[in-house]
């Protein structure tokens, strides 16, 4: 059978105040075109369908339209919740409606016999089992494990160990004559970041190990890291990457998806597919005349501009006159006043994140403790998710 693996759509993303709705519509239409051209049997969307927990009506309409187009012709479509998604929205609103259309949605972790393992028969007659593992926060991974075992967990096990126990329960019935798949959203150690991932949910305390997936797994489809890449492990494990560069940290990424051929008794054959519908993100540096000279070569790319001139009133406006797609305009470090250069050298070119501020506070007060930092990260993660 043939699978289209995609993830990290981040529909509803606003880049420096600019809507990317038109780009997302083109990118998702390109994905649908790939599903048709490749005649895939199934589509896995491994989380972060939306950019926030409260997506706008236009964002929801685009996702609904895309999922229905992907499902046309009877394709199996599986959608997981990522760390940017609200699992309640996906489970309580989307799941019951989309299930009637043949689209399977996993917002929360479920027991194997209650929707955690999805089973179907491919159009070629192959039985398929898919272990669905949507994003689990530190708090909910404990609840999921308690729901699985039926008893309170009294041990202080780490996230990776809990994740492995859940994965073991979902993959226990993988057979030699079935196509065995895992779909999950989270971070494997050693994975290369794309640049736009949420920091609080990509730290060590949110890692799980590739050993959580048994060798009987024919393919593990992951989401969360925005760079497309294969991960080492006992089975084929891939991040599909995002189909759109989410922020300027991802300008060197190649947006795309994966087409996977898989059958019982052999490893998956994975092919990368590049998507070209979204606008390119670029960082450009130079004096005002140099920037003006390169304007014709930049096309419609969204720009982060670093000006190699001394700051002066009206400079940013002058840059935008020659480069209308400039979303941010900064002064090159070498041309900043001495005090600004010192701050930049100290890593303060951009406003520090709350996590960085808290670490600095602990260092300055002599209370450095990684356990306290980890607790802060978890609390900040939960509050940040509520605000989305």
In sequence order, what are the beta bridge partners of 44? Answer: 5, 78
**Does 217 share its domain with 336?**
no
Domain count of the fold of the chain: 3
Do 255 and 215 reside in the same domain of the chain?
yes
Kindly state whether residues 147 and 31 are assigned to the same domain. Answer: yes
* Same-domain pairing of 37 and 135: yes
- Lowest mean pLDDT, pick from 28-42, 129-143, 273-287, 323-337: 129-143
CB contact set of 287 (below 8 Å; sequence gap of 6+): 307, 308, 309
End residue of a domain, out of 250, 274, 298: 274
Check pLDDT > 50 for residue 75. Answer: yes
Tokens 């050693």 belong to which residue? Answer: 190
**For residue 26, what is the domain's CATH number?**
3.60.21.10
pLDDT at 195 over 60: no
Residues 195 and 286 grouped into a single domain: no
pLDDT computed for residue 201 by the predictor: 41
> In this model, does residue 260 exceed pLDDT 80?
yes
Q: How many CB atoms lie within 10 A of CB 101?
A: 11
Both 298 and 215 in one domain: the answer is no
Strand partners, 76: 42
pLDDT at position 148 is: 60
Residue at which a domain ends, from 256, 274, 292? 274
Say whether both 206 and 290 belong to one domain: no
- Residue 13: which region, alpha, beta or left (left: phi > 0; alpha: psi -120 to 50)? beta
For residue 156, what pLDDT band results from cuts at 50, 70 and 90? very low
| Euclidean distance between CA atoms 184 and 203, whole angstroms | 17
Most confident of 60-69, 145-154, 307-316, 345-354: 60-69
One domain, residues 211 and 255: yes
Per cent of the chain over pLDDT 70 is 84
Q: For residue 239, what are its two tokens?
A: 């991040």
Nearest to 279 by CA among 305, 247, 306, 310: 247
Whole-number Å distance between alpha carbons of 44 and 2: 11
Structural domain boundaries, residue 150: 2-274
pLDDT at 242 over 50: yes
Residues 115, 34, single domain; the answer is yes
What radius of gyration do the chain's Cα atoms show?
22
Question: Both 170 and 316 in a single domain?
Answer: no
Q: Taking 50 as the threshold, does the pLDDT of residue 348 lie above it?
A: no
Q: Are residues 382 and 268 in the same domain?
A: no
Question: Of all residues in the chain, what percent are helix, strand and coil, respectively (each to 5)?
Answer: 40, 25, 40
Same domain, 219 and 193: yes
Question: Of 227, 253, 274, at which residue does a domain stop?
Answer: 274
Residue 205, pLDDT > 80, answer no
């Amino acid at each position: 059978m043939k699978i289209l693996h995609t993830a990290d759509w981040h529909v509803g993303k606003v880049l420096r105040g600019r809507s990317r709705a038109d780009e997302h519509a083109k990118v998702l239409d390109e994905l649908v075109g790939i599903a048709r051209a490749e005649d895939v049997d199934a589509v896995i969307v491994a989380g972060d369908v939306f950019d926030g927990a409260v997506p706008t009506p236009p964002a929801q309409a685009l996702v609904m339209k895309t999922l229905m187009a992907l499902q046309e012709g009877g394709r199996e479509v599986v959608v997981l919740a990522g760390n940017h998604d609200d699992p309640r929205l996906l489970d309580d609103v989307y799941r019951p409606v989309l299930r009637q259309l043949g689209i399977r949605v996993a917002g929360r972790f479920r027991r194997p016999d209650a929707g955690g393992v999805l089973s179907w028969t491919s159009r070629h007659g192959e039985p398929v089992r898919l272990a669905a593992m949507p994003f689990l926060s530190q708090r909910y991974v404990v609840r999921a494990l308690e729901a699985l075992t039926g008893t309170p967990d009294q041990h202080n096990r780490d996230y990776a160990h809990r994740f492995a126990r859940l994965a073991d329960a979902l993959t226990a019935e993988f057979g030699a004559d079935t196509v065995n798949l895992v779909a999950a959203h989270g971070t494997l150690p050693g994975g290369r970041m794309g640049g736009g991932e949420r920091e609080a949910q990509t730290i060590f305390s949110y890692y799980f190990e590739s050993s959580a997936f048994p060798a009987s797994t024919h393919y593990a489809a992951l989401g969360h890291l925005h760079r497309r890449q294969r991960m080492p492990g006992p089975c084929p494990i891939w991040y599909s990457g995002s189909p759109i560069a989410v922020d300027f940290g991802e300008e060197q990424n190649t947006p795309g998806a994966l087409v996977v051929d898989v059958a019982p008794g052999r490893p998956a054959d994975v092919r990368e597919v590049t998507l070209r519908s979204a606008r390119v993100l670029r960082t450009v540096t130079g004096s005002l005349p140099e920037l003006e000279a390169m304007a014709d070569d930049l096309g419609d790319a969204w720009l982060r501009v670093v000006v190699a001139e001394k700051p002066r009133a009206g400079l940013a406006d002058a840059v935008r006159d020659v480069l209308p797609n400039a979303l941010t305009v900064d002064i090159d470090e070498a041309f900043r006043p001495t005090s600004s250069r010192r701050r930049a050298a100290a890593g303060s070119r951009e406003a520090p994140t709350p996590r960085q501020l808290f670490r600095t506070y602990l260092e300055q007060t002599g209370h450095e403790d990684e356990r306290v930092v980890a607790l802060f990260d978890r609390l900040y993660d939960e509050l940040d998710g509520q605000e989305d």
